[in-house]
């Protein structure tokens, strides 16, 4: 077993543990922390594949902005523990096993289908190549995303604003 595979196994274990913890935790803050763990582990996996810039962006945008927004809203709304709804026996005895079967099934078939796939590129992707592609070939979609963000910004503003009371 090479060192890379060992690193992969550790990071993958952390990511899966985080994702399971996201489901099991009752408090939204704990779920959010689990998700942040998954994201950091994924950033490590991107680094392992030589995608340095994506790894940094993953942590800066997902970890440092989007999840902060989540934590912020949880703090702001003072969201408490999730209410336990009376799980019907149907959900308990059929739903949970079905969920497990679904995950295993998907992983199995995807693993089987790609078993003999070999990585064609190796080494580190240079940020320069990536930005050339992003700002030359994909400059139009890139500009469109800025419109998307602007619209999202306005939408969030309109939604969260308190109505002026007469």
Which of residues 27 and 93 has its CB atom nearest to other proteins in the complex? 27
Which two three-digit tokens encode residue 63?
Answer: 């970890």
139 binds other proteins (CB under 8 A): no
Which of residues 111 and 166 has its CB atom nearest to other proteins in the complex? 111
CA–CA dist 14, 39 (Å, integer) = 10
Cα distances (angstroms) measured from residue 133 to each of 74, 81, 136: 38, 45, 5
Tell me which residues in 82-121 interact with other proteins (CB under 8 A): 82-83, 85, 95, 99, 102-103, 106-107, 110-111, 114-115, 117-121
CA–CA dist 111, 121 (Å, integer) = 20
Query: Which residue carries 């523990």 as its tokens?
Result: 81
165 binds other proteins (CB under 8 A): no
The three-state secondary structure class of 87 is: coil
Q: Could you tell me the smallest distance in angstroms from the CB atom of residue 116 to other proteins?
A: 8
Tell me which residues in 21-60 interact with other proteins (CB under 8 A): 22-23, 27-33, 35-36, 38-40, 42-43, 45-46, 48-60
């Amino acid at each position: 077993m090479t060192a890379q595979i060992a690193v992969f196994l550790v990071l993958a274990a952390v990511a899966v543990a985080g994702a399971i913890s996201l489901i099991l935790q009752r408090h939204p803050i704990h779920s959010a922390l689990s998700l942040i763990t998954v994201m950091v582990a994924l950033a490590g996996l991107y680094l392992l594949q030589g995608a340095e810039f994506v790894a940094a962006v993953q942590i800066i945008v997902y970890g440092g902005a989007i999840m902060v927004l989540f934590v912020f809203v949880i703090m702001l709304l003072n969201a408490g523990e999730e209410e336990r709804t009376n799980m019907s026996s149907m959900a308990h005895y059929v739903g949970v096993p079905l969920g497990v079967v679904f995950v295993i099934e998907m992983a199995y078939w995807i693993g089987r289908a790609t078993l003999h796939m070999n990585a064609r590129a190796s080494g580190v992707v240079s940020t320069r190549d990536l930005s050339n592609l992003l700002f030359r070939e994909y400059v139009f979609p890139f500009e469109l995303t800025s419109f998307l963000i602007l619209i999202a910004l306005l939408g969030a503003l309109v939604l969260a604003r308190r109505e002026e009371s007469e």
